[in-house]
A and B are shown apart, each in its own frame.
Chain A
Amino acid sequence: MKMTAVYQRKRRTASRWYNKLIKSPAWLLAFLVASAACLGTYVANGIFGRVHPSTTWGWGYGIAATVLFVGTLVYGLRRRLMRFRPGRTFHYLQFHVYGGTLFLLLVFMHTGFQVPHGVLTWWLWFFSLWIVLSGLVGVVLQKWIPTMLASDLNVEVNYDRIPDLTEELRERAETLASESGPELRRWYRRKLADGLDAPHFRPLCFVNASAGRSNLARQLEHLRRVLPAEQKEELDELEEIVSAKHDIDAHYTLQTPLRWWLVLHLPVGLLLIALIGLHIFTVLYY
């Protein structure tokens, strides 16, 4: 009975929207506490000292931001550290997300919530903002797109296989069309052939993964009424192919940003390492 009650409670909370967005309340709480502590320190800094990167306070913010940044890099290296049994990926990812966001807060505190005047410092500030915002975009995409993919599509395909599967469907449809009667063949050439030739990016899928399917269904229904009876079986088969292609296009559309946001995130992270290194060197040198 007790187990059932726990199970029911979990199920009830799981349906709430924020539970879909927040994987670990403990990490979120830790992040909020750390952020509040940082902001409290900053307020104390404003009262008892001068807000400037070159003060002891400012150095503290800068060093803390660097340490956090280096810490978030460990997530990317985790796969290479498997032999050391590094622990659950979940915690690495949570630290990567929350630590990265805290890193940006510390950068802002370091610069006194102002845009720096120097070229190097400006780029540092800009790329720090960029990498955290692109990371947060990635978090949102990873929460949102899998839900969309799982919502209304009949097939699930690997992104890397989409060109091959598209070609497979196209060949199958071409064969079917060439073996069918002239009406269906003509209709295929005029209405379907172009849509089957390659994966298509359909922005409407971001709103509704099955967008456009009802329009196709209406056309097929009309065609079914006017076609000779012997071609209706081939039309059904063609409808299945087109429907599968539609799902593949939805996957293609939704998975593309899921893959490509990383291009905006990862190289900039490496660039930021170089800029932070230069910044530390110049601060010590000058």
Chain B
Amino acid sequence: MADKRNKGYFGDGLLPVAKQYLYPSPRTSMVWIGGLAMVLVFGIFFYDASRRQGALVSNGPLSTHHATFGQDCSTCHTPFEEVTNDKCGTCHEKYGADLGRYSFESHYLYRTTDFSRLQSSPNEQSCATCHTEHQGRHVSLTDISDEQCLTCHEFGSFNTGHPEFEFVRDSLPDRGNLAFPHTVHVNEIMDRQELVDVQKSCLHCHNAKADGKSFKPIDFEKHCGSCHLTASTATPWIQTTDDPSSTPGVLRLKTIRAQSAPGTRWAYFSNPNEYQSRAGRVRKRPLYHEDQWILENLKQLRQAIYPSAELASLLKASADVPPGEATKLYKEALGTLREYAEELRAQPSRKVQQELRRVEKLLDVIERRLEDPLAPVDETRFVLSPAQLNPDLSEEQLSSYRETIDKLTQPCQTCHRVENATIARVQKEQDKLVRAGFNHGDHIIHTNCLDCHNQIPIQKYAAMDSTAPASKDRAAIFNLPAIDKCQSCHADGNAPNTCVSCHVFHPNKSRANLLRYVE
């Protein structure tokens, strides 16, 4: 019954032992399957690379803004090289700009004129390092992680290592340059408008911009004019003179008209009835905001005291501007010179017209140079210092000049400071943070105005007959909280607390201005 070739039986003698040694079955078929799969994969990707621009090897869809570049990888990629900044700059940088908008140099100079910061750092990275593409259509390229910033700025997180705000840390004054007690005005507005909610009185002057992020500059006509400089406001009686450079006093209207000095065309349109003369003295009523007669006389008196400060005479107010905004002064001075030149245009003399053309070309050249971010801008040339005082004037004469200036600007001094024969420049801009942005619209739905703006005790004195003492309520007080107030909400797991929540790396925040064809 049993096969003779069998070597025996097992399993209770039922099953024959194998006739020969059985080797484990080879895995050749599996290797073949795997090999075929490899060939197939290479084939598919070769086809994809040659016909479909490597859609399969892409690390993911491009963001919406760059979506069309997915048709051509070479728009951004160069074989065997990283994505270079030049590729990004092809679209994003301006033609012929000396300083790239997105360069690290621009970042170093952001809101500062400190050119000593223009030193390259070994931590500088390419655009693509921070703005990581291929993360999907709806991923924002501007959501930058803190780690990117911390390679240079060793501040840790917002809640642990962020430095205190500069104005708190150094107890800096607000450079508003106005004499403005908030509590007086809040009470006045609440009375007049019969308000119950004190915060509504804030909105009387602080009007939001269209984007809701910040506020429009304070406007005298709109916010102050209804109470200040009414028809009855007048200057005191002031001694007149025909030459302020030799005798302290003010020029009368007819003298100004007779001199026809640059920038005095307004005098021909000024109402003589607003000027009252009596015994060699004059007073003006009513007065206007930025009253030309006052400003002209102030300029004449300033030139008498500071004869060498010619650039300061081209400004309407002092040279007190925030750091990095010195070009504002030059632009204002250029504007004044253009006004002077415009007044000469009416003169028919050929010589005057030729000279005028030469002056206008010169002003154009200066204006173009001011556009250059690397142009040296020295605001100190507008600043008046004691060293520039007229050495020919005695102390008595100086005192007399100062007395005249004080009388002339007395109505102005209700709100403005007058120093060095100049009205201090009012900082109209409401953005107080220098290196960070703040969106009021995002915050006002979570909290009230006075929860954060609590340095001046507005709430305490609201709807009371008394007002806060000047030590607690003046425009020089930064009515902003310390950083711990922000940190109480902007913590991990609560409101966003990344660097880019408040700061921007690139100076120009306007997206519309980021492309080369858009000015």
On A, residues with C-beta under 8 Å from B are 48-50, 52, 54, 116-121, 154-155, 157-158, 160-161, 165, 168-169, 172, 240-241, 244, 247, 259, 262-263, 266-271, 273-275, 278, 282, 284-286
Contact = CB atoms under 8 A, between A and B. Distances in A.
A118 B135 CA distance: 9
A244 B57 contact: no
Contact of B15 (A244, A282, A286): A244
Contact of A244 (B12, B41, B80): B12
Contact of B59 (A121, A160, A165, A273): A121
Given A50-B147, A154-B11, A282-B57, A168 B16 contact: yes
A50 B371 CA distance: 37
B14 to A, nearest CB: 5
Nearest to B22: A158
B30 A116 contact: no
A172 B14 CA distance: 9
A244 B10 CA distance: 10
B22 A119 contact: no
Interface stretch (B32-40, B196-204, B494-502): B32-40
A6 to B, nearest CB: 35
B77 interface: yes
* Residue of B12, B73, B136 with highest tally of chain A CB at under 10 A: B12
A161 B18 contact: yes
Contacts of A48: 147
Contact of B27 (A155, A266, A271, A278): A266
A270 B61 contact: no
Contacts of A268: 34, 37
If over half of B's interface residues share one DSSP class (helix, strand or loop), that class is named, otherwise mixed; here it is: loop
Contacts of B271: none
Given A120-B57, A244-B14, A273-B38, 18 more contacts: A116-B59, A117-B60, A118-B58, A118-B134, A120-B45, A120-B58, A121-B60, A154-B12, A158-B22, A240-B12, A262-B27, A262-B30, A263-B30, A267-B33, A268-B37, A269-B34, A282-B54, A286-B79
Contact of A270 (B10, B35, B56): B35
Interface of B: 10-12, 14-16, 18, 22, 25, 27, 30-31, 33-35, 37-38, 41-42, 45, 54-61, 73, 77, 79-80, 129, 132, 134-136, 145, 147-148
B11 A267 contact: no
Nearest to A281: B57
A267 B37 contact: yes
A169 B34 contact: no
If over half of A's interface residues share one DSSP class (helix, strand or loop), that class is named, otherwise mixed; here it is: helix
Nearest to B15: A165
Nearest to B60: A117
Given A118-B57, A284-B80, A278 B11 contact: no
Contact of B22 (A160, A259, A266): A160
B304 to A, nearest CB: 63
Nearest to A275: B41
A39 to B, nearest CB: 19
Nearest to B144: A50
A245 to B, nearest CB: 9
Contacts of A154: 11-12
B45 A278 contact: yes
A208 B406 CA distance: 109
Contacts of A274: 37-38, 41-42
25 contacts: A48-B147, A50-B147, A52-B132, A54-B129, A117-B135, A119-B55, A120-B45, A120-B56, A120-B58, A121-B59, A155-B11, A157-B15, A165-B15, A244-B11, A244-B14, A266-B27, A267-B37, A270-B31, A274-B37, A274-B41, A278-B41, A278-B42, A282-B54, A282-B57, A284-B80
A282 B56 CA distance: 10
A275 B34 CA distance: 12
Contacts of A267: 30-31, 33-34, 37
A50 B41 contact: no
A50 B33 CA distance: 40
Given A154-B12, A158-B18, A172-B14, A118 B60 contact: yes
A264 B335 CA distance: 80
